[in-house]
Structure 1
Amino acid sequence: MKKNLANKSQVVDGLKITIKKQEENEKVEGKKKENLYTFTIEGENASSVKKGLGSIDFVLKTKDKKEVKLDDSLATFGNELKSGEKLSGKVSFATNKAPDKLVYKPNGKELAEWSVNENE
């Protein structure tokens, strides 16, 4: 089943967040192999005040409801955005569990989610 979130946007807490690309690869470290899910995310500050956005604000939820934290051994992004500014970057998750949702969860609060399964 092909999964694709490309160009799915939501405006959350003054930020327009768009999933620009979704990739699935294999990550190998020594004898350990995991699936690597990487999302290219674009954020635009649609509010009149500064807003922060970064890789650390996202988690991946699996079909069995577990949360996978970002793989910070790979490229991450983050910055404060002035009104109208855009920022894009990647967030990656390594797991052998089936992914279900990409969740925007700044400061531990779930504010938005995207299904990573095209058929749902």
Structure 2
Amino acid sequence: MNNLYQEKNNSQSSKSIFYRKINSNLCIHDIYSTKSTVNELKRISWSKLRLSGHSLVIETGRWNRRVRGRLPVENRLCQYGQVQTECHLIEEFVLSQEIRRRFNITTILELVSDRQNHSQVCHIEDSILNIYK
């Protein structure tokens, strides 16, 4: 387990960098280990965002170019010409602006902080990811 922790902590992949940003101590979140009233479908969106199991271009660019290899990070763009990362989606993307305003969220760290209600965070993340469905 210690080797896995060190490997993730030292990795420079965009996926690992993002995960360390939202979970700096690399621990299992209590939403998985305690009984919760969080809507299961919304919790799935919560997990997808944290584990890069979503359909944002930052992730699909890793595997969509079968023969030619991965799409370079700088070419994984949203429809407005910016690199489509999880942080971009939550903090800057034009189409998620109304959600940010409604819930008074400006950064991804505010959204994932332990001060936030898990049900509300799952709802916000589900709403933002649903922009792409």
Query: Fold-level match, TM-score > 0.5?
Result: no
State TM-score, norm by structure 2. 0.26
Larger fraction in strand = 1
Larger fraction in helix = 2
